[in-house]
A and B are shown apart, each in its own frame.
Chain A
Amino acid sequence: MHHFTNKTENYPFILELSMQLITYEMLMLQPPPAKYGGRHTVTLIPGDGIGPELLNHVKEVFRFSCVPVDFEVVHVNSALESEDDINNAITAIRRNGVALKGNIETNHTMAPSVKSRNNLLRTSLDLYANVMHCQSLPGVQTRHKNIDIMIIRENTEGEYSSLEHESVSGVVECLKIITRNNSLRIADYAFRLAREKGRSRVTAVHKANIMKLGDGLFLQCCREVASGYPDITFDSMIVDNTTMQLVSKPQQFDVMVMPNLYGNVVSNVCAGLVGGPGLVPGANYGRDYAVFETATRNTGKSIAGRNIANPTAMLLAGCMMLDHLRLYDYASMIRNAILTTMNETRVSLPSLTGFSPHLFRCHKANPQNFTRRTCAAFRLCHGSVPLSAVRHTTAGASQKRSVCLPNSQVSLFRSFYLDICASTIKVSSLHS
């Protein structure tokens, strides 16, 4: 019974999270209209390593929650040299507009002309903004508390341009491209996002003291955009100082915007700070398309197939996708269920306690159980009453079918359930 005592603390957090997501999602992008009887079709790319199993968890939870999303699965074989697979995937995403993907492995023993498939996907669809929200989650033990950082990373150019050549034998040049257009675009995205979410400070991360022209241009673009947002403070920090500050005082950061490679470093550091790669979802937004995945994009080959990978990040990415599709109710309900489960099972996931990523230590909680418990938590909260019945009345909550539970636990669950319904109704009334 004591498992649920700290649940009420989570509600404001969850509610606020959902509300924040609703506001900026509504204003930032137009999701594709639902087709075929109110059901969305989303491209699903399983990828390699732990990708397939994590996405199976997502499919299971969605099916259980009766989410009106159909997945169009597109496999990409990373062992092949031809780019047909990834082109198929890109076409599918163009068709559906939204995708959920696992990471596709890049075998770097193959010839350099075989480029990273993930990178190809991002650049072809022009998913220029990678957004990651690192928050200290309740119930997760980490060295630093109260972290709340949004990282916006330029996703298409910079060091990831894949333009390399060997000019002389033994000398390789790799080009890092920074353009004014892309820098302005990402800075604008960052400031708009900061404004929608009510953030007060944007920090640009750069290395302009060394790369004077490249990062200098990026910084200049950020400053130009900042002048159009006088309500938001803008400052800049050199990347090595940034990492040093992140490990000593991460609470000082609010929103951070940066080019591609520094974004890679900083997002991984922040993911490690809040509890590991198994917890943080990430989103790639373009003008027309959106692709959701785990924030740190790990393939996790060493833990694949052993039922130990943490599904939280992918499940939360699925929730972000639902918010993008304007299925806010489902998103917040699944999110509630996930956080409930995280607190309830008290899994000492090493990725939750901040040690080796992805592994579940507690034998009672393996990812399949986690997913089942998430579904169970969801069912306990909502039974199988259709959403419309829950939406309209608070009184309707007490008329719900009671769930099969031992008597001692019924009253406990009912109060918990009533609270969830109340919050769901509040959420849904905002945009119905």
Chain B
Amino acid sequence: IVGLGWFGMQTVTLIPGDGIGPEISSAVMKIFEAAKAPIRWEERNVTAIKGPGGRWMIPPDAKESMDRNKIGLKGPLKTPIAAGHPSMNLLLRKTFDLYANVRPCISIEGYKTPYTNVDLVTIRENTEGEYSGIEHVIVEGVVQSIKLITEDASRRIAEYAFEYARNNQRSSVTAVHKANIMRMSDGLFLRKCREVAEGYKDIKFTEMYLDTVCLNMVQDPTQFDVLVMPNLYGDILSDLCAGLIGGLGVTPSGNIGANGVAIFESVHGTAPDIAGLDMANPTALLLSAVMMLRHMGLHDYGNKIQTACFDTIRDKKVLTKDLGGNSKCSEFTADICRRIQDLD
């Protein structure tokens, strides 16, 4: 939880992103203005540049801004093909050591999916596991990929999960693993989770196999609360849960790093086909921004904005195309702003 800065305003680094990024970012800024949230935005670009050592890095002014503000909001970034540099998300993750990816999945009342009353949070270890990127060709036709599990990373993510559960009044944490097959690696992860659970007796701790979680998730997702897991399972499960509530267009996401850094982002693509046409849906970025407000302790503003957003969707009068309506992004945004002002 970050304290308020000068004049009570907190500065946040805003990375608009590519494609529909700029329009949804401006939509979010408008809504925050209407809510009179004490946030000052500092826009930065994170297109990779080649640093002095020949390694790819994010522009120094972006890095400096993030280090100073600690909190960031990011729109969708283009994944470059054959640009020579790795994905931007990977670069950001490495630069700021973003070790936890948090995705709260809450059913949106106005947006019907076959699953109702979903209210769970997936917390995924974001630095190691199956995505370590270490691969070798042993002999022609045999490839080995290395999955790395370390004690420190497992303990860190478990601690974050329990802290999150405590701070957000969640009652149970479930560790997802496959320790029956990957005895040592997931066994280590599980041991660390158990150790950390000892220090949080007020929160119920359970362990469940990945396949059982998948099975139960598509039958009855209401039985889950907070899920903590290594990288690959987290990737799959967090997208599964996003699918339960309606897809990536309405799912918020946050990345927590060491040293208090936190970057909140929308996880959908850049949608270049509708960029600039005022058709984009800003819900994902807006809900991520709400997550950000909560992380900063500004719960009132967060609740106000979220209520307005959900009310607009529930009303179904001004919905963007992907939600089933045919209004413009600006109309959607204006409706939310209006509701916020009515709420005051």
Which residues of A are in contact with B by a Cβ distance under 8 Å?
Answer: 106, 108, 112, 115-116, 119, 143-144, 159-160, 162, 164-166, 170-181, 207, 210-214, 217, 239-241, 243-248, 261-262, 264-265, 267-269, 271-273, 276-277, 296-298, 354-357
Picked from B145, B150, B236, the residue with its CB within 8 Å of the CB of A211 is B145
By a CB distance below 8 angstroms, the chain B residues around A261 are 178, 232
Residues of B within 8 A of A143 (CB): 114-115
Q: Is B49 an interface residue (CB 8 A)?
A: no
Distance between B57 CB and nearest chain A CB, rounded to angstroms = 21
With both chains docked as a complex, state the minimum distance between the C-beta of B58 and any C-beta of chain A, in angstroms. Answer: 20
Does the CB pair A247–B212 fall under 8 Å?
no
Q: A112-B187, A172-B148, A174-B149 are in contact. List 11 more A-B contacts (CB 8 A).
A: A112-B184, A165-B184, A174-B182, A178-B145, A214-B145, A264-B211, A265-B211, A269-B215, A273-B218, A298-B212, A357-B215
Q: Is there an interface contact between A176 and B243, defined as CB atoms closer than 8 Å?
A: no
Per-residue A-contact encoding for B153-182, CB less than 8 Å = 1, 0 else = 000000000000000000000000011111
**Given contact pairs A172-B188, A247-B115, A268-B211, A214 touches B135 in the complex (Cβ within 8 A):** yes
Contacts of B215 in A (CB 8 A): 268-269, 271-272, 276-277, 296, 357
* Complex Cα gap A325–B215 (Å): 31
Q: A69 to nearest B CB, angstroms? A: 30
Partner of B151, one of A106, A171, A265: A171
Task: Kindly state whether residue B29 has any CB partner on chain A within 8 Å.
Answer: no
Nearest-CB residue, chain B, relative to A157 = B142
Whether A240 and B235, one on each chain, are in contact in the complex, defined by CB atoms closer than 8 angstroms, is yes
Please indicate the chain A residues that have their CB under 8 angstroms from the CB of B179 in the complex: 108
Contacts of A173 in B (CB 8 A): 146-148, 185
* Known A174-B149, A244-B243, A272-B219: A179·B184 in contact at CB below 8 Å: no
CB of B224 within 8 A of chain A? no
CB of B130 closer than 8 Å to a CB of A: yes
Q: How far is the CA of A265 from the CA of B181 in the complex (A)?
A: 14
- B211 contact from A112, A116, A244, A296, Cβ within 8 A: A296
Write the chain B residue with the least CB distance to A114: B183
CA gap between A297 and B216 in the complex, in Å: 14
Is A172 a contact partner of B242 (Cβ separation < 8 A)? no
- Establish whether residues B185 and A245, one from each chain, have CB atoms under 8 Å apart when the complex forms: no
Most buried by A among B131, B144, B235, B237: B144
Contact A112 B183 (CB under 8 A): yes
Contact: B146 with A174, CB < 8 Å? yes
Report B-chain residues with C-beta under 8 Å of the C-beta of A106: 180-181
Q: CB-CB < 8 A to A298: which residues of B?
A: 212
Distance, CA A248 to CA B238, complexed state (A)? 14
> Once the chains bind, are A244 and B242 in contact (CB under 8 Å)?
yes
Q: How many angstroms from the CA of A173 to the CA of B184 in the assembled complex?
A: 8
CB pair A164 B184 closer than 8 Å: yes
Smallest CB gap from B242: residue in A: A244
Chain B residue nearest to A243 in the complex (CB): B240
Q: Is B211 a contact of A176 with CB atoms below 8 Å?
A: no
Q: Are A265 and B146 in contact (CB under 8 A)?
A: no
Q: Note all chain A residues with C-beta closer than 8 A to B323.
A: none
Q: What are some 29 contacts across the A-B interface (CB < 8 A)? A: A108-B183, A108-B190, A112-B183, A112-B184, A159-B130, A159-B182, A170-B152, A171-B148, A171-B149, A172-B150, A176-B130, A178-B145, A210-B133, A211-B130, A212-B135, A213-B137, A214-B135, A214-B143, A240-B235, A243-B240, A244-B240, A247-B218, A247-B244, A248-B246, A261-B178, A272-B215, A296-B211, A355-B219, A356-B216
Tally of B interface residues using CB under 8 Å: 56
User: In the complex, what's the smallest C-beta–C-beta distance from A334 to chain B, in angstroms?
Assistant: 26
B residues in contact with A211, CB < 8 Å = 130-131, 135, 145
Interface residues of A: mostly helix, strand, loop or mixed? mixed
A246 to B214, CA, bound (A): 12
Q: With A211-B135, A239-B236, A268-B212 as given contacts, are A108 and B187 in contact (CB-CB < 8 Å)?
A: yes
Residue numbers in B under 8 Å from A165 (CB-CB): 184
How far apart sit A108 and B218, CA to CA, in the bound complex (Å)? 26
> B248 in the interface, Cβ–Cβ < 8 Å?
yes
A243 touches B150 (CB 8 A): no
Given contacts A144-B114, A276-B219, contact A177 B144 (CB under 8 A): yes
Find chain A residues with CB under 8 A from B182 CB. 159, 162, 164, 174
**Set of chain B residues within 8 Å of A144, measured between Cβ atoms:** 114
With both chains docked as a complex, state the minimum distance between the C-beta of A355 and any C-beta of chain B, in angstroms. Answer: 5
Chain B residues whose CB sits within 8 angstroms of the CB of A108 once the complex forms:
179-180, 183, 187, 190
Compute how far the CA of A27 lies from the CA of B145 in the bound complex, rounded to whole angstroms.
Answer: 36
Query: In the complex, what residue of chain B is closest to A247 when comparing beta carbons?
Result: B243
**B47 sits at the interface (CB 8 A):** no
| Interface flag for B113 (CB, 8 Å) | yes
Option from A166, A212, A214, A354 in Cβ contact (under 8 Å) with B184: A166
B210 at the interface (CB under 8 A from A): yes
In the assembled complex, the Cα of A276 lies from the Cα of B217 at a distance in Å of 11
A387 CB to nearest chain B CB (Å): 38
On chain B, the residues within 8 Å of A240 by CB distance are 235-236, 238-240
Q: A-B pairs with the 7 shortest C-beta distances?
A: A180-B141, A244-B243, A272-B218, A170-B151, A240-B239, A112-B183, A143-B114
Closest Cβ of chain B to A239, distance in Å, is 6
The answer to whether B236 and A179 touch across the interface, beta carbons within 8 angstroms, is: no
| Contact (A357, B219) CB under 8 Å given A112-B184, A246-B243, A247-B244 | yes
| Contacts A239-B236, A245-B243, A269-B218 given; does A172 touch B211 at CB 8 Å | no
A357 to B131, CA, bound (A): 32
Name the CB-closest residue of B to A357: B215
Bound-state Cα–Cα, A245 to B239, Å: 9
Residues of chain B lying within 8 A (CB to CB) of residue A162? 181-183
B147 to chain A, nearest CB (A): 4
Flag if A171 contacts B145 (CB, 8 Å). no
Among A214, A267, A354, contact of B219 (Cβ-Cβ < 8 Å): A354
Q: With contacts A159-B182, A176-B145 known, is A248 near B131, CB below 8 A?
A: no
Q: Contact: A356 with B220, CB < 8 Å?
A: yes
Tell me which of B146, B178, B214 contacts A272 (CB under 8 A): B214
Residue contact A175 to B219, C-beta cutoff 8 Å: no
Interface status of B38 (Cβ within 8 A of chain A): no
Task: Check A243–B236 contact: CB distance below 8 A.
Answer: yes
User: From A262, which residue of chain B is reached at the shortest CB distance?
Assistant: B236
